[in-house]
């Protein structure tokens, strides 16, 4: 994926920011596909809790937050990481979000009880080692029993599904929305009964 992305950007055909916008747009489309009743406007705004991480997976989360807000959703956004250290495209989408919404630092155990949907944009392809310290958040998420959409892949899982990554702590997930092509992990997610939707992003 990285080499495809680099080649597409190097060719000048598309920018990283375009890819991120298309990724976020695909995620919002997938929400309507997986949960059709979310497509119809509700008498009270639906509430999405978006968990953004320190990289471009978090960047996708900022795009999704903005697009859901534009569709009338109430959005609560938590950021794990320092905005000053976000990679450029994620920072741009952080700034775009901050023009229309607020954010809080990710607490030890966020309140998911009023969420109609939780968006896991903490970590994606850039996970390089098992997560530590996310146990309380992941168990709060599991206890809340709300639908969880993972951007690209459930945070904590290894995209290549390497044998030694089995058992790494990871976020609960109802649906994973990935981009361009499935990664090895997605076959395992399907086998676990987790929905997987692949969205094109023009690569």
Ligand X SMILES: NC(=O)C1=CN([C@@H]2O[C@H](COP(=O)(O)OP(=O)(O)OC[C@H]3O[C@@H](n4cnc5c(N)ncnc54)[C@H](OP(=O)(O)O)[C@@H]3O)[C@@H](O)[C@H]2O)[C@H](O)CC1
* Binding residues for K ion (CB under 5 A): 120, 124, 150-151, 155
| Residue 23 touching ligand X (CB under 6 A) | yes
CB of 79 to ligand X, least distance (A): 12
Interaction pattern, residues 134-163, with ligand X; x per rule: CB under 6 A: -----------------xx-----------
Q: Would you say 58 is a known binding-site residue?
A: yes
| Residue 5 touching ligand X (CB under 6 A) | yes
Nearest residue (CB) to K ion, 12 versus 167: 167
Q: Would you say 128 is a known binding-site residue?
A: yes
Q: Are strands 175-179 and 195-199 parallel, antiparallel or unpaired?
A: parallel
| Residue 56 touching ligand X (CB under 6 A) | yes
Q: Binding site for K(+), residues?
A: 57, 120, 155
């Amino acid at each position: 994926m990285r080499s495809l992305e680099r080649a597409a950007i190097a060719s000048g055909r598309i920018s990283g920011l375009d890819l991120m916008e298309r990724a976020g747009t695909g995620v919002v489309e997938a929400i309507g596909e997986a949960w059709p009743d979310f497509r119809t406007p509700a008498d009270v705004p639906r509430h999405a809790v978006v968990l953004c991480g320190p990289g471009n997976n978090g960047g996708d989360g900022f795009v999704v937050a903005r697009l859901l807000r534009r569709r009338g959703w109430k959005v609560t956004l938590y950021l794990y990481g320092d905005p000053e250290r976000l990679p450029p495209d994620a920072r741009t989408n952080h700034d775009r979000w901050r023009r229309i919404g607020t954010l809080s630092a990710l607490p030890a155990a966020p309140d998911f009880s009023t969420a109609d949907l939780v968006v896991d944009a903490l970590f994606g392809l850039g996970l390089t080692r098992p997560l530590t310290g996310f146990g309380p958040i992941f168990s709060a998420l599991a206890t809340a029993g709300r639908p969880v959409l993972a951007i690209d892949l459930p945070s904590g899982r290894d995209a290549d599904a390497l044998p030694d990554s089995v058992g790494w702590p990871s976020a609960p997930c109802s649906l994973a929305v990935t981009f361009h092509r499935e990664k090895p992990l997605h076959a395992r997610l399907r086998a676990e009964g987790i929905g997987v939707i692949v969205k094109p992003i023009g690569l």
